[in-house]
Structure 1
């Protein structure tokens, strides 16, 4: 999770930079380029979180991922699919 936090902090800095660029009236192309970089950083953080969840599900398939009781495999599949699609 340390790498995810680093990505999120980087994205936070990039978003602050975008806000500052807009306030300064910077070129649209520069603003959009910086905004795209922030978006990619957020996507990568989300995918890393999902990958960690998948790893946990695969190594401990008898729980719901939060240390709870067994979850129906179809429900688990549906939850994971929903997570992936939320980042698409």
Structure 2
């Protein structure tokens, strides 16, 4: 079971909404809409993706990492490192 299993429906719904936003962006470009309007929508889609990433990270920390830490040893260290690396990627993006 993945850490996000309990949030799967919510995440799927959010991702479907983001998919619609991205399709809308494509239509805006095809329709030669104003640059700033497109950039505004890009920003909204980016924030929505970041929200999904944060939710996935929260679920990962509260399930996968917490379980690994409870077990201890190398598995715990590996999961904490994996989570730290994921956080670093999110911060850089």
TM bucket, shorter chain: 0.7 to 0.9
- The count of corresponding residues between Structure 1 and Structure 2 is 81
Describe the SS at the equivalent of 1:25.
coil
Q: Which has the higher helix share?
A: 2
Which region of structure 1 is more displaced relative to structure 2, 74-83 or 27-36? 74-83
What is the aligned-residue RMSD (CA, Å)? 1.7
Q: 4+ residue runs of structure 1 moved beyond 6 angstroms?
A: none
Tell me: higher relative CO, structure 1 or 2? Use CA pairs within 8 A at least 6 residues apart: 2
Match of 1:79 in 2: 82
Listed as ranges, the gaps of 5+ residues in structure 2 are 1-7
- The Cα of 1:71 is off from its aligned counterpart by 4.1
Deviations 1:20-59 (A, max 9, x none): 000000001110011111111111111111111111022x
Match of 1:33 in 2: 40
Where in structure 2 are the equivalents of 1:1-88 lying within 5 Å? 1-56=8-63, 57-58=65-66, 60-61=67-68, 62=71, 71-88=74-91
Describe the SS at the equivalent of 2:32.
coil
- The Cα of 1:12 is off from its aligned counterpart by 0.5
Question: Structure 2 length as normaliser, TM-score?
Answer: 0.77
